[in-house]
Amino acid sequence: MSRIRGTSAGFLVAEFVVISLGVLVALGADRWVRGLDEKTLTDTYLVNLQSDLRQDSTSFSIAESQAHRNVLNAGLLVSLLREGPGPTTDRKEVLVALYELSEWGPRGFGTVTWTDLLATGNLRLLDNDLRRELSVYYGMQPDRIESDDNQEPFRRYKSVASHLLKPEQRLMASFIVWGGADPDTVSSAWEANDLPDPGIEVSTATTLSDDEFAALIDRLEATPGLEAMLGDVLWASLWQKETYALYGGYAAHHLADPRVAGAAPVDTASS
């Protein structure tokens, strides 16, 4: 009888050991799988950050170039208002300057991945130092690009720009900036895109006649405070040029960071 009880106890102990080992193995496997899942998720975020930073680098490079154009455009118009047109004044440049300044808008950060990291709490997946550095990078935008002091000169200029160029002159300027257009192609484009006919005569002309240019100068000179307004635009453009150069440098730095650049594309098809 004691032998039977001893055997039963042995079986119970063995069964307990087997079950315990099974639980431990299961827990270990679960932790291993979760570790793999987190590694995959981290790599996915890093690859997406690469994409956002690459977009930022390109966008800020373009914005820096356009800000430089804005400096030249504003400077040209200020000189025109101070000294008046001369025999060497390039009418096409004046037309383009007025147009480009009215079309300018700030460029922001590509924040899709960063916003997702914050919203999901997955920011914890990133290296502590990298997390802190990216927080500084994405935190710079509101203070420098979108500040009222930075944008107000452009808002004031745009409020008067609509009457400086006639609609057909704006269209002419856009053709010059974007490479020209065939009048027949432009006319048919209104119908193709279900747009109302704006009633603008499309012309392949890329400069203004003597009468048109004289009338444009009259409108510029008759606009109150335009010279001071353009002076403010010039200084804001200088600031923006330096700011976008700074942002582009930061974006390129983070893009080249081994902690970001080292992530390999994730093969979602096999997972």
- Residue 197 within a domain: yes
In this predicted structure, what is the pLDDT of residue 167? 84
- Residue 267 within a domain: no
pTM: 0.72
Q: Which long-range contacts (CB under 8 A, 24 or more apart) does 76-83 make?
A: 77/101, 77/220, 77/230, 78/227, 78/230, 78/231, 78/234, 80/217, 80/220, 81/220, 81/221, 81/226, 81/227, 81/230, 82/227
Residue 73 pLDDT > 90: yes
Q: Which domain holds residue 43?
A: 2-262
- Residue 48 within a domain: yes
Lowest pLDDT segment from 12-26, 209-223, 248-262: 12-26
The structural domain count of the chain equals 1
- Residue 270 within a domain: no
- Residue 241 within a domain: yes
- Residue 198 within a domain: yes
| DSSP character string of 99-162 | HHHHH--------HHHHHHHHHTGGGGS-HHHHHHHHHHHHSHHHHTS-HHHHHHHHHHHHHHT
In this predicted structure, what is the pLDDT of residue 224? 92
- Residue 122 within a domain: yes
d(CA 49, CA 255): 8
d(CA 2, CA 224): 112
- Residue 128 within a domain: yes
